[in-house]
Structure 1
């Protein structure tokens, strides 16, 4: 599965995207964020505040409790504001 990061999440993780193969115990995007946070100190810093994260599954905005089963891409980004 491809992970895509935007804005300060990308800056903290240090890469714009990466391919990952989470274990079967990772069922939701929230589980995925928890698992990713254990990959490195940079990931842990980027994902420390779940309340500041938004997600998209295959380019559709979704809540963090959305299942990842069958997803080709998960994007993680800060809240989007308009102006």
Structure 2
């Protein structure tokens, strides 16, 4: 199972910081993962599609590469504050 991590306001929208998802062959990349998440939660899906959200796969910045069930995928909103 893929481990999905949410930070900041994304964790609030997701109802927690972590989800485990069986993504199998139907999800091959980040766009398809966000589409899958959006089917269950349209607000979270819309937030994940924002251009300012950074994605980290297995502790490396990603721009849409392939993913698999063994990956850890983190979604980070922009950092703000003072």
Do the structures match in fold with TM over 0.5? yes
1:73 is matched with which residue? 72
Aligned residues: 79
Gaps of at least 5 residues in structure 1 are none
Q: Specify the SS of the correspondent of 1:30.
A: helix
Q: Specify the SS of the correspondent of 2:46.
A: coil
CA contact (8 A) 1:5 1:17 kept: yes
4+ long deviations beyond 4 Å: none
1:22 is matched with which residue? 23
- Picking from 45, 48, 53, the partner of 1:47 is 45
Q: TM-score, length-normalised on structure 2?
A: 0.80
Q: Counterparts in 2 of 1:50-61, with a 5 A limit?
A: 50=49, 51-61=51-61
Gaps of at least 5 residues in structure 2 are none
* CA distance in structure 1 between the partners assigned to 2:37 and 2:30 by the alignment: 10
